[in-house]
């Protein structure tokens, strides 16, 4: 198999194209490169080479907002979003992708990356869905929120462990959507 990428050598970001020829994801969709793990704030990341970024932008059909990607880090598969922060596109490497990533800054990683057209649906919460169905006003407000805020609310509720916590927070979310309470650190939707 042949991998598609460009000249991936960069002065900044420690990126190169000197990898083994056997790809982990077949061409033409995957791109292989090596990069040094860097950090901004508390977030480990790698810089993706410009030719690969351009190919991902073309595949995604956009150059803005989070771009869903998939690939491998040192052979382990991941799903992530490519994001632009402080003027630079970055692939953040969390601990689910690379064990102890914050302690591995400076390590040279072998990566593959491709645009991932599969959606990133937030986990469903049947309790929240039922509550929205029972409160049309709250549902209308929820549907009017930007998608990232909707996902934040749904993920928060879906992450709760006990039925009592879920019930309590679903009631808080409905009150928040109707303008009567704080929720997920916000005063109003």
Convert the pLDDT of each residue in 117-146 to its tens digit: 886 676 778 999 999 999 999 999 999 998
**Residue 26 scores a pLDDT above 60:** no
Predicted confidence (pLDDT) at residue 10 exceeds the cutoff of 60: no
Which range is least confidently modeled, 34-38, 66-70, 80-84, 122-126?
122-126
Statement to judge: residues 173 and 92 lie in one domain: no
Helix or strand or coil: residue 28? coil
State the residue range of the domain holding 57: 15-115
Instruction: State which of 69, 92, 115 marks the end of a domain.
Output: 115
Assess contact for 175 and 181: CB atoms under 8 A: yes
Same domain, 89 and 172: no
Nearest to residue 170, comparing CAs of 107, 137, 128?
128
Same domain flag for 19 and 100: yes
Q: Answer yes or no: do 111 and 131 share one domain.
A: no
**CA distance linking residue 33 with residue 176, whole number of Å:** 45
Whether residue 6 lies inside any domain: the answer is no
For helices 147-159 and 136-144, give the axis angle rounded to 10 degrees.
120
Could you tell me if residue 94 is inside a domain? yes
Closest to 51 (Cα-Cα) out of 9, 93, 108, 112: 9
Number of domain units in the chain: 2
Pair type for strands 88-92 and 76-85? antiparallel
Has residue 51 been placed in a domain? Answer: yes
**pLDDT digits 0-9 by tens, 73-114:** 999 999 998 999 888 999 999 988 999 988 999 999 999 999
Nearest to 109 by CA among 9, 19, 49: 19
Indicate whether 53 and 110 sit together in one domain: yes
Is position 2 within any domain? no
Q: What is the CATH number of the domain that holds 32?
A: 2.40.30.100
Same domain? For 133 and 97 the reply is no
**Do 105 and 134 have their domain in common?**
no
> Is 169 contained in some domain?
yes
The model's pTM: 0.57
Query: What pLDDT shows up at residue 122?
Result: 66
Q: Where are the alpha helices (DSSP H) in the chain?
A: 50-60, 126-134, 136-144, 147-159, 163-177
**Pair (106, 19) in one structural domain:** yes
Same domain, 96 and 132: no
Compute the mean pLDDT over every residue in the chain, rounded to the nearest whole number: 83
Domain co-membership, 107 together with 72: yes
Both 20 and 102 in one domain: the answer is: yes
With respect to residue 134, please indicate whether it lies within any of the assigned structural domains.
yes
Is position 187 within any domain? no
Q: Is the pLDDT of residue 18 over 70?
A: no
Q: Which helix (H) or strand (E) holds 82?
A: strand 76-85
| Same-domain pairing of 41 and 103 | yes
Strand, helix or coil for residue 157: helix
Report H helices in 11-146: 50-60, 126-134, 136-144
Domain contains 75: yes
């Amino acid at each position: 198999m042949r991998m598609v990428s460009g000249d991936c050598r960069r002065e900044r970001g420690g990126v190169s194209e000197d990898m083994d020829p056997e790809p982990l994801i077949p061409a033409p969709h995957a791109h292989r490169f090596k990069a040094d793990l860097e950090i901004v704030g508390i977030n480990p990341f790698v810089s993706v080479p410009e030719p690969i970024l351009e190919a991902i932008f073309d595949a995604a059909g956009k150059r803005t907002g989070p771009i869903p990607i998939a690939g491998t880090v040192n052979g382990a598969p991941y799903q992530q979003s490519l994001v632009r922060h402080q003027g630079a596109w970055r692939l953040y490497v969390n601990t689910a992708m690379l064990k102890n990533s914050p302690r591995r800054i400076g390590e040279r990683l072998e990566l593959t990356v491709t645009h991932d057209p599969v959606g990133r649906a937030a986990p469903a919460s049947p309790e929240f869905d039922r509550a929205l169905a029972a409160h049309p006003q709250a549902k209308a407000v929820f549907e009017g929120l930007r998608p990232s805020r909707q996902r934040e609310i749904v993920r928060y509720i879906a992450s709760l462990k006990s039925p009592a916590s879920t019930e309590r927070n679903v009631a808080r979310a409905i009150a928040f959507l109707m303008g009567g309470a704080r929720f997920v650190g916000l005063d109003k939707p």
